[in-house]
Chain A
């Protein structure tokens, strides 16, 4: 326990000493305050604590729509783009140097010469790196939790699912950085390798997502798209067979890849808000801005799309991937001469 406490305490001290940690924390604070600044009054929505007014009738204070809209901003914008993207990039830049720095001559010897196994040392250092994201996300989520409570009277503890989920999503990319960092002892190499790998997994996930939507969701919504002319029509004609075939073909690749995007999107399943009798119930923010109410078929197809992967497909396969990569990195770390 003393060893674990010591290494984790050192990780926190290292974070505190990192300028990027504070930069990231400040940006997080700005995003959180910007979110908290959105409010509602008798005319509609206000931004920056009432500095700007937007007259939108359905967004008046106290309406179910305003509350649903506020929660949608959290789940569809903040979680997806800030926590799922920007903060993770900053975290990756900050943490990719942990192992290469630790493996510097004259530094690693000090730790290895102590009565601590290399495996334990490796894992504790790894967890220390994850603290960067966990601490940032926790502080950010606390502000959002308070904002949701004050604005919507929704004191919803399920928003704190963001902490483990975002940290897990980050760990799927970070493990690549750790593997390459241990192998090459180069921060730059570790960072580029992890960013490149992240991009690759995203491309796979986007292709998977696109082919699923074209092959299954759009036909189920009763919409046909002529791929040659781009013409959209309603009907029962099935134009998605080709996409379905391609979607099936890429499943073996999808299965072994870590699902960073899907993991972040799964937060929508975990963060459960009170069902309101709102026009916005069951829709996403994109549909809100597209205008119009979704028909039941479309809502059903979208719901099916959101739930198309089981928890094992998202978390289980990603975890297996992470364990394999971490196992490789740990083996390298443990067997190397320093």
Chain B
């Protein structure tokens, strides 16, 4: 059962009680803080919950701490303080990683290896027996559309091809959770469509996908839930549909000029007027009804009524701007 209510704790950590049944969580971070030796606080006490079988998008500006968070979960860096579980085990337990896949940002693969060998290398490190490896590698190469180029060395691959092999190696251990850090970075538009399809297919297979990205339109299209991370803090999170539905902008185009009395009435209620267009931001169309009534009672002809929903990008920009203006306001709304 989901709920999108959250509150800020006294320590600055955002605490959330989103899910009543913890076994449904793939990742449950109660508190995560990372402070580097140079004093930079990359993560300032983050709490996050990712339900199993969902696509979770972590978005944020550059340097927000997105990669730091993923690396903390995968033991690539050591968090200063961490409480939480991944797949039911404490975060940082090595054996859990056997059920986790990962494609790092700017993944670098040995150029002397072929695409197939990169996947086999990953399989070997994940304790996959050589017998089981062969069929699985063939299937994955087919899945990511790299069967024909599998015997070529990595140095001959384009960026998009390398990312495809990167995705295949992340899936070679049949993971329950897959972390993809900027998976479509440097990939051409056609490749991005393929990636979105492949990521959606992972959800259909019952896997949890955790995507770090700054390509908000893509995240909006594929993710079930998102969290916005800024300056090491989660500033907003929830279902994509809830977050983008929360507020909308309504525009009414009227005929002729408005009476002075009506203009005063509008300005008192925060309704902006630009020429013959009246606009307001509201959670639902109910808030627009009094304006329509007023216009009709004033005999003003309404030519058009338009509803513009917030896109994830607009929500992101608004949230980040708010966070910059009020850096201490932590509540994840």
Interface residues of A (CB under 8 A from B): 2-3, 5-7, 9-10, 13-14, 16-17, 104-117, 335, 337-338
Q: 27 A-B Cβ contacts within 8 A?
A: A2-B127, A2-B129, A6-B120, A6-B124, A10-B113, A13-B110, A13-B117, A14-B110, A14-B112, A16-B112, A105-B106, A106-B105, A106-B107, A106-B108, A107-B107, A110-B102, A110-B104, A110-B107, A113-B74, A113-B97, A114-B97, A115-B94, A115-B97, A115-B98, A337-B71, A338-B71, A338-B77
Q: Which residues from B are CB-within-8-Å of A107?
A: 107-110
Q: Is the CB of A115 within 8 A of B95?
A: yes
Chain A residue at minimum C-beta to C-beta distance from B127:
A2
Q: Is the CB of B124 within 8 A of A2?
A: yes
Chain B residue at minimum C-beta to C-beta distance from A121:
B125
Q: Which residues from B are CB-within-8-Å of A116?
A: 94, 125
A106, A112, A115, A116: residue with the most chain B Cβ atoms closer than 10 Å = A115
User: Which of B36, B108, B130, B169 contacts A104 (CB under 8 A)?
Assistant: B108
Interface residues of B (CB under 8 A from A): 36, 71, 74-78, 94-98, 100, 102, 104-113, 117, 120-130, 169
Q: Is the CB of B77 within 8 A of A337?
A: yes
Q: Which residues from B are CB-within-8-Å of A7?
A: 124-125
Q: A109-B71, A337-B77 are in contact. Are A115 and B108 (CB under 8 A)?
A: no
> What secondary structure prevails in chain B residues at the interface with A?
loop
Q: Which residues from A are CB-within-8-Å of B36?
A: 337
Return A119 CB to nearest CB of chain B, in Å: 11
A335 to B77, CA, bound (A): 9
User: Which of A3, A10, A117 contacts B127 (CB under 8 A)?
Assistant: A3
User: Which of A5, A13, A104, A114 contacts B122 (CB under 8 A)?
Assistant: A114
Q: A2-B128, A110-B169, A111-B125 are in contact. Are A117 and B94 (CB under 8 A)?
A: yes
User: Which of A9, A13, A105 contacts B112 (CB under 8 A)?
Assistant: A13
A108 to B96, CA, bound (A): 19
Return B24 CB to nearest CB of chain A, in Å: 24
Q: Which residues from B are CB-within-8-Å of A14?
A: 110, 112
Q: Is the CB of B110 within 8 A of A10?
A: yes
Q: Which residues from A are CB-within-8-Å of B128?
A: 2
Q: Which residues from B are CB-within-8-Å of A114?
A: 97, 122, 125-126
A104 to B95, CA, bound (A): 24
- Which 10 A-B pairs give the minimum distances between C-beta atoms? A6-B124, A17-B112, A337-B77, A106-B108, A114-B125, A109-B104, A107-B108, A113-B102, A115-B98, A113-B74
User: Which of A109, A115, A338 contacts B126 (CB under 8 A)?
Assistant: A115
Q: Is the CB of B78 within 8 A of A335?
A: yes
User: Which of B100, B110, B112, B117 contacts A113 (CB under 8 A)?
Assistant: B100
B77, B108, B123, B129: residue with the most chain A Cβ atoms closer than 10 Å = B108
Return A182 CB to nearest CB of chain B, in Å: 16
Q: Which residues from B are CB-within-8-Å of A10?
A: 110, 113, 121
Chain B residue at minimum C-beta to C-beta distance from A102:
B110
Not counting A6-B124, A105-B106, a sample of 18 additional A-B residue pairs whose C-beta atoms are within 8 angstroms of each other reads A2-B129, A2-B130, A5-B124, A10-B110, A106-B108, A107-B107, A110-B107, A110-B109, A112-B75, A113-B76, A113-B104, A115-B97, A115-B127, A116-B94, A335-B78, A337-B71, A337-B78, A338-B77
Q: Which residues from A are CB-within-8-Å of B111?
A: 17
Chain B residue at minimum C-beta to C-beta distance from A109:
B104
Q: Which residues from B are CB-within-8-Å of A17?
A: 111-112
A17 to B155, CA, bound (A): 12
A335 to B37, CA, bound (A): 12
A113 to B112, CA, bound (A): 21
A93 to B102, CA, bound (A): 33
A6 to B169, CA, bound (A): 14
Return A21 CB to nearest CB of chain B, in Å: 11
